[in-house]
Structure 1
Amino acid sequence: MKFDTSDPFRNDSPDVRLDLLNLAAAFRRNWLKILLFALLGGGAGYFFTSERDPVYQAQSVIVLQPENGTLNLLEISENYTATRSTVETQLDILQSTELLGHVIDTLGAEQAAAGVIPGFSKQALPAMPREELIKWLSNASSVKRKGESYAITITARANAPKLAADLANEIGQTYIARQLDRKKAEMAIATEILTARTNVLNDDLFDKERELAKLVQSWQLDDPDLDARLSSRIAQLKTQHQNAVSANAAPETIAALTAEIEALDADYLSRTLATIRKRELLRQIQSDRLRHDQTFEQLLRNEAQASVLNAGAHLVSAAHAPLQPIGISAKTSAALGFVATGFLALLGTFILAMFDQRVRTTKQIEDVFDSPCLATVPLVSGRGSRRDKQYFYKQMLPGISSNFTRSIRQLYFNLHIRLPKESNIVLGVTSALPDEGKSTIAMSLAIAATSKRQRVAVVDFDMWHNGIDRLTDVFTPKDTKQKAQKTTDETVDESPPPSLQDWFSGSKSLIEIKTTSPDVETVDIYPWTIRMSENKTNLSEKNINRLFQELRKKYDLIIVDTAPFMMVSEVAELTAELDGFLVVVAWEQVTDRILTDLKRTMDLAGAEVLGCLLNRVDTKKQSQYGLGDYVQYYERSGSYS
């Protein structure tokens, strides 16, 4: 049998907005949850900030004096100038446990005095041991150098504004006081060292000057002509000695001259050595006097500095009690919590939307099956719609008009175009999962076909679920209450009603099986009312072919309500006898993955899909989601009646 390949319902134009629309729809259907989550975040932020103790921050600034600040003994003696390493050293001192301990002790003493001295007020420290207080102050305070300058910022944080200011000021003042004390102590030590050094030099100078004076006096080194006279006398005696030797003078005379010459030479040599020692002493005395004068001058300079000594640092900016706590306010925290949690909710919605592949639009179905979606059937709400299984297909009865009725008629019209032009058509109605509404669609479609004066039959091949029987209650008596009131002595026929299972077993004919619904007598129904048993039912290809050959002779349209195609293998055996399938897809009940698996299964079985149907669409939610489906116009049903 040939089919019409033209497809007036297929829309091949790309829909680039689909992903964005699905994302926007996810936001729209979860906007209340997102808002609630954001409000909870804002409330949590407000509560957290309100319950937390306020923290106040105060700052004081001290400036080091680079020409006279924090010098050790060597630096004092060498007139050292503060450098970068010196400033960094002072930062370490400001953060040292020793200094912070002095701060704690000072504030503790001042707090004790606050109860004795009128008008003296200090904010109380936290009640904890001294070691714990030092750790607390170490965490609550910080020092930082301002750029490359000699200014140091002291920051203190506390739960009370007055305490924060007291801590910042006390750290600076304690540092300055301790530096001044250290400078005084070092200056005193330096003065003592310089004094001792001056005394040693003075004693050495005195000893050398006394030695020099004694040497000059002993050798008459202050007489400049004595050396010349001594040299002249030695020369004269040497001449006389030579003459006496030449004249062969008496040996006694020559010996006397020789002894006198040797004595004078010894005196001359000793005098020369004394002169050399004199010169050496003069040089040493000059050097010692210079060193003495320098040391004494340095001692005088240090004593002068001690009279005007400062700590090498000044508190240039005292801390004041802050008016507002640091950190964000409760309102700001609530706003940030609202924005942050709202963003997280949006992000979570986005992530969930990426994994949410539930079918909500006809395009999702068409993309999978490559076949048009012939209709969108809305979910009709009304009195009895939840309790009465027959409520929906009864909407197709004459005189009743509803959104459901109009959608089924539109389905029949579109399906009529897709069906082959010849009569005796066998159409299968299937789905991927149970409870997608295929039995209701099959029965409603049959009623719509009878309005066109077609001979229509509905064949229930959902042998595991008996959908048509459950839907139409063709074997349920209307007088149920009267039946319950029958006396126990009446005989009730408990034998099962005839069904297609009896035909396949050969015990019943189609005429005996055929029945109609009490509400719709124009549609012949061939039910399957007994749960299928493979031991009793012969579902051979030959029997199935013979069944539909007989039905084609009697009816123009045969609608077969099959079991879910993916769940029951017997459905595939019907494929060869059916002219095509109408696939029913329940809104938000199946996913793209399930549809893909259904498509693959039907392709393997060689099933022809004539069209699809999006069923049970909640038109109100669909309209709110903004998915752009025409089903939203069912909300204005009065305008299209």
Structure 2
Amino acid sequence: MNAHTPPALSADDRSGAPLEGPQTGLGAAMDIRRWFNVFRRRIRLFIAVALVVFAATVMLTLQATPRYTATASVVLDTRKTNVTGVQQVMSDMPTDASAVATEVEILKSGQLAERVVKALNLDQDPEFNPALRKPKGLGAVRASVRDLVKGAAPKTAPTPAQLQRAHEGVVSNVLGGLQIRRTGMTYVIAIGYESESPTKAAAIANKWAELYLLDQLESKFEATQQATRWLNEQLGSLRGQVEQDDAAVQQYRIANNLLSASGTSLTEQEISSYSQSLASARAELAADNARLATARQQLARGSNGEDVGEAMSSAVIGQLRSQRAAVSAQVADLQGRYGDRHPEMLKAKRQLTDIDSQIQEEIGRIVSNLEAKVEVSRQRANAVGGSLGGAKGTLASNSRAMVRLNELQRTADASRTLYESYLARYKETSTQGGIETSDARIVTKAKVPGGQSSPDVQGNLIRGLLLAIAAGAAALILAEMLDAGLATAEDVERRLETAYLGSVPMLSSVSDTRNETPIDHIVSKPLSSFSEAFRNLQTSILYARLGEPVQVVAVTSSLPGEGKTTTAICLARSAALRGGRVLVVDCDLRRRTVNRMLDAEPGVGLLEVLSGDATLEQAISRDAASGADILPLSKTSFTPKDVFGTAAMDRLLAELRRRYDLVVLDTAPVLPIADTRILAPKADVVVFLARWRKTPQHAIEAAFRQLSGTGAHVGGVVLTQVDMKQQAKYGYGDPGYYYAEYKKYYTE
């Protein structure tokens, strides 16, 4: 690529966005001016979009159906009453933030909405059931046409699926007017409803609150009933289990002789009784032995037995002693009266001896009785001891059987405990059926609203104004982003990375002259700003190649309609008016625009000179208005042959360099025609034209890529057909920005 050929552009360059980062100071101020200029030049678009958006907002607001909002309030009750002290089946609702949020979602549920629809017959209300609405406007027209087309065809009954969809649509429409919100961080929930009728809005809000509380009560009641049924079922099975376990315990007791009374087994009772009897028998035996031993010891010491304990307590001995005392008194009396030999005395002594003998016999019987009693006590103690041993053996066997009995008893006790707990819970649950309370209560009932809640006319107008401004700004930014054309010298240098040679104003933007073409204006008004633009362009072209003369200039563009021929002729006339030797060569074989502009139809031209059918002098004509020469194309000069790449063309250009100070080649556009890529390398400088704000940047880049491999020297880009009045609204620092200040220096 030639050193002066613009390189390919990056994606950032094509976007038109600044290549630098965030700017501060002077750079930021220039960026503000840039956007201010964008607003200035696109203010019509901004106003148009803003007006459309604002008008649409106003129209929608005015056409909207007035709606009214009524609000009822419920509070989640944190204070609970418990009359019976019985634990509830369904526990009270917690009152933390998540619980409140859950209740808000329940209030928004479709199930509750269906209950409201059913309670108030909202499915028969046209506001919620679209099928009952009468069509209006275009809808009425379409309905009439549809009825005419269908004619008298019988109506078919809707299917269950259609009825279900219609019902779901009604529920969805009802939910659309619901407004549920929590009041701050309190437990109060506001139930708002918006409707076309204020009375209907209040009725729906109140019904929604009532059914919400009823739903809570029904949920608790249903939970209680379900728990009661379940407990009843469980009690039936547990009752049979308890009976079965108790029967198993009793059968095992009977089978293993583990019968009991008062909580102890019969064997244990026997052992206890035997132990008590044995202890009593042994104590009695010991007492009997002690009494017998004492009596024997007393007799052994020479006692007559009268001091033996049993003898002392014997009634017989007592009587005998009484008799003996009486006889002894008689003996004493008789002895004192009659002496020892008196018959009465002897008789009395015999009686006394007889009594003593009876006493001794009675004492003997007592001692013998003590011996017999000791033997009886010994035998009884031995018998009781034997029975106790047998009972202990039986108890050992029973103890082994008690292990299984205890296991069966524990099972029976567990079953009975479980049964009793279920029975107690069943009785508690059965008593709860009529004392359930909801977890919320209505604080404020909805009242019929006195004014509409929507549309908010003032708010909508403010929002519409803000939206209009935002839409206008967005349209402005979008238009600026989609604007692929070039408007300023900065655009050319930054986005195309090539030199900016100048701009050619649109004649109507710098002159009030009517019915005058640009090529005529440059002659009639040589001191005008339009003519000055071409003098500036000529100066830029002459210095496009520093150190090298510029004689042959090729004027081209990427697309047709960029003003190539006008620029070429005006450039040539401007140079000729300054005294230079100038030639315009028409190289656009298809258009021959130079002839049309100069209103001439030559017989010979460029192709005839190249083919040798005419001389250069014969083909060149003089522009009488400026003194510039013209080498046109004849009417029949089109040829499919390559005429610009021939040696004849090289010789012609060499001859023209010798004769003229400036040779302007009016070429075809680069993209559609290949001739320019052949001719451009033969020129000293290629002047590339781009129509102001019209030629797409991508088209220019595509043309540059096609010229990049030919060796052509692109001197830079010229913006043509520039509206100088609008250009003043573009980039700060661009020459056109100051047009209003310096235009007074020009003479029209």
Q: What's the offset of the Cα at 1:98?
A: 9.1
Shift of 1:448: 1.9
SS in structure 1 of the partner of residue 694 of structure 2: coil
Q: Percent identity?
A: 24
What are the within-5 Å matches in structure 2 for residues 112-123 of structure 1? Answer: none
Equivalent residue, structure 1, for 2:711: 606
Q: What residue identity is the alignment partner of 1:468?
A: V
Matched, 1:439 2:565: yes
Mapped to 1, the partners of 2:108 and 2:509 lie a distance apart of 78
| CA shift in 2, pair 1:618/1:562, >3 Å | same
Q: How many angstroms does 1:544 deviate by?
A: 1.6
SS of the equivalent of 2:87 reads helix
Which residue matches 2:687? 582
Q: Which amino acid aligns with 2:459?
A: T
- Offset of 1:42 from its aligned partner? 2.4
CA 1:142–1:249: 2 relative to 1, 3 Å: farther
Answer whether contact 1:24 1:626 (CA < 8 A) is retained: no
Matched, 1:451 2:463: no
What letter matches 1:439 in structure 2? T
Verify the 8 A CA contact 2:551 2:662 in the aligned structure 1: yes
- Shift of residue 346, structure 1, vs aligned partner: 2.8
Distance in 2 (alpha carbons) for counterparts of 1:449 and 1:320: 89
Structure 1 residues 554 and 96, CA gap change in structure 2 (3 angstroms): closer
How far is 1:395 from its partner?
A: 1.4
User: What is the aligned residue count?
Assistant: 516
2:342 corresponding residue in structure 1: none
Q: Indicate conservation of the 8 Å contact 1:142/1:155, yes or no.
A: yes
Once residues 522 and 95 of structure 2 are traced to their aligned partners in structure 1, the CA distance between those partners, rounded to angstroms, is 95
SS in structure 1 at match of 2:625: coil
User: Does 1:375 pair with 2:387?
Assistant: no
Q: What corresponds to 2:523 in structure 1?
A: 397
Cα distance in structure 2, aligned partners of 1:72 and 1:159: 48
Q: Which residue of 2 aligns with 1:162?
A: 199
Q: 1:410 is matched by which residue type in structure 2?
A: N
- The residue number in structure 2 matching 1:39 is 51
Q: Is 1:410 the equivalent of 2:410?
A: no
**Is the partner of 1:61 in helix, strand or coil?**
strand
8 A Cα contact 2:510 2:724, kept in partner: no
Cα gap change, 1:182 to 1:578, in 2 (>3 Å):
closer
Distance 1:371 1:531, change over 3 A: farther
Given candidates 498, 502, 526, the residue that maps to 2:604 is: 498
Q: CA deviation at 1:331?
A: 3.1
Q: Is the 8 A contact 1:582 1:611 kept in 2?
A: yes
SS at match of 1:395: helix
Report if aligned partners of 1:376, 1:614 keep a CA contact under 8 Å in 2.
Answer: yes
1:544 matched residue in structure 2: 649
1:321 and 2:437 are equivalent in the alignment: no
The CA RMSD measured in Å over matched residues stands at 5.7
8 Å CA contact 1:42, 1:337 repeated in 2 = yes
After superposition, give the CA deviation of every residue in 1:332-384 in whole Å (9 maximum; x if it has no partner): 22332343354244334434433433111123334467664333221012999
Q: Per-residue deviation at 1:408?
A: 1.7
Q: Are positions 1:429 and 2:441 aligned together?
A: no
Distance 1:175 1:608 in 2: 85
Question: Contact conserved, 1:361 with 1:627, CA < 8 A, in 2?
Answer: no
The answer to which of 346-355 and 553-562 deviates more is 346-355
Q: CA deviation at 1:531?
A: 5.6
Residue identity matched to 2:48: L
Partner SS for 2:712? coil
State the shift of 1:433 in Å.
2.4
TM-aligned CA distance change 1:455 to 1:47, over 3 Å:
closer
Identify if the C-alpha distance between structure 1 residues 634 and 501 changes in structure 2 by more than 3 Å, giving closer, same or farther.
same
Match of 1:621 among 703, 726, 730: 726
1:150/1:356 CA distance change after superposition, 3 Å: closer
The answer on 1:51 being equivalent to 2:63 is yes
Question: 2:80 is aligned with what amino acid?
Answer: E
> What amino acid maps onto 1:64 in structure 2?
D
Instruction: Show the counterpart of 1:472.
Output: 598
Q: From the superposition, tell whether residues 87 and 29 of structure 1 become closer, same or farther in structure 2 (CA, over 3 Å).
A: closer
Match of 1:354 in 2: 481
Does the CA-based 8 Å contact 2:552-2:662 persist in structure 1?
A: yes
Counterpart residue number, 2:318: none
CA distance in 1 between counterparts of 2:619 and 2:528 reads 33
Cα drift, residue 423 of structure 1: 8.1
Find the counterpart in structure 2 of residue 275 from structure 1: none
Give the residue type in structure 2 aligned to 1:29: R
The partner residue of 1:594 within 689, 692, 699 is 699
Question: 1:29 maps to what in 2?
Answer: 41
Q: Counterpart of 1:502 in 2: which secondary structure?
A: helix
1:424 and 1:77 mapped to 2: Cα distance? 105
Alpha-carbon deviations, 1:154-192, whole Å to 9, x = none? 4444333333334444555567789899999999xx9xx
SS of residue in 2 equivalent to 1:38:
helix
**Matches of residues 12-27 of structure 1 in structure 2 within 5 Å?**
24-27=36-39
**C-alpha distance in 1 between matches for 2:207 and 2:550:** 104
Deviation by residue 1:134-157 (Cα, 9 ceiling, x = unmatched)? 776666557677688665544444
Deviation at 1:498, TM superposition (A): 0.9
Q: Following TM superposition, by how much is the alpha carbon of 1:501 offset from its aligned partner in structure 2, in angstroms? A: 1.1
CA contact (8 A) 2:582 2:662 kept: yes
Tell me the distance in 2 between the aligned counterparts of 1:55 and 1:332: 16
Q: Please show how residues 122-137 of structure 1 align to structure 2 within 5 Å.
A: none
Whether 1:507 aligns to 2:613 is yes
The answer to whether the 8 A contact 1:385-1:391 is kept is no
SS at match of 1:529: coil
Q: 1:40 to 1:335 in 2, by over 3 A?
A: farther
Matches of 2:553 and 2:568 in 1, distance apart?
9
Structure 1 residues not aligned, in runs of 5+: 4-12, 109-122, 191-230, 263-290, 476-495
Q: Give CA deviations for 1:66-92 in whole Å, capped at 9, x if unaligned.
A: 3327x99953699x8764599879889
Report if the CA contact (8 A) 1:438-1:561 is conserved. yes
Q: For 2:618, give the aligned amino acid.
A: E
C-alpha change, 1:98 and 1:386, in structure 2 (3 Å) is same
- Give the partner amino acid of 1:158: S
Cα distance in 2 between the residues matched to 1:435 and 1:125: 61
Post-superposition Cα deviations, 1:419-469, rounded to whole Å, max 9, x if no partner, equal: 788989333322232222222222222222223322222222222322322
Question: Which position in structure 1 is the counterpart of 2:460?
Answer: 333
1:525 counterpart residue number: 630
Mapped to 2, the partners of 1:50 and 1:173 lie a distance apart of 35
**Measured at CA, do residues 470 and 368 of structure 1 come closer, stay the same or move farther in structure 2, by a change above 3 Å?**
farther
Is 2:688 the partner of 1:561?
no
CA drift of 1:540 comes to 4.9
Which structure would you say has the larger Rg? 2
Contact 2:724 2:736 in 1 (8 A): yes
- C-alpha spacing 1:592/1:168, structure 2 compared with 1 (3 Å): closer
